[in-house]
A and B are shown apart, each in its own frame.
Chain A
Amino acid sequence: MTTQAEIKVGDEAPDFKLTSVGGKEHTLNEFRGKKNVLLLFYVLDWTPG
């Protein structure tokens, strides 16, 4: 059983580097000092919402 840390308000958001459609890489930290970021974790493609 893997223990997962829960991210709460006030925590530093964990940075990441992920690839999007077209192969472009995105990190969270690239927006530091520039923009607020909205992270929408959705369940699976082809599902509502």
Chain B
Amino acid sequence: MPAFEARLKDFEAANAQVMGINTDSMFCHDAWAKSLGGISYPLLADVHRDVVKKYGIWWPELNANYRATYIVDKQGRVQFVERYGKGETPDPAKILAEVKKLG
């Protein structure tokens, strides 16, 4: 997540809104963001697990979610999906290139 914070201006220049989501509470998000020196984009709290289930990435064993990235275009259509295994994280440069394809 700090990796995307570092490239946030590039995503803004590409007319993309960045949002982080997981199942932790906003209080946890707040403490965590402060520990990182601040995260400028919204960190959303899916405490009821409704959204991660809608996106098919609920992780039952942890009652949390798997790591995944979705790019949604201006028409509300999913244009890119990437799911990650253990130890894998999204590459901001690759995701930025995908966002730029949409214009």
Contact = CB atoms under 8 A, between A and B. Distances in A.
Given A7-B81, A20-B44, A36-B17, A42 B72 contact: no
Interface residues of A, number: 42
Interface of B: 1, 3-4, 11, 14-24, 26, 28-33, 35, 42-46, 50-60, 62, 64-81, 89-90, 95, 99, 102
Q: Is the interface of A mostly helix, strand, loop or mixed?
A: loop
Given A36-B102, A40-B1, A44-B62, 10 more contacts: A2-B58, A2-B60, A11-B77, A21-B29, A26-B19, A37-B17, A37-B71, A37-B72, A41-B57, A49-B3
A1 B72 CA distance: 29
A13 B72 contact: yes
Given A35-B17, A36-B15, A39-B72, A26 B89 contact: no
A20 B23 CA distance: 12
A13 B69 contact: no
Contacts of A33: 74-75
Contacts, number: 171
Given A18-B46, A20-B29, A40 B21 contact: yes
B70 A18 contact: no
Interface string A2-45: 10111111111111101111111010110111111111111111
Interface of A: 2, 4-16, 18-24, 26, 28-29, 31-46, 48-49
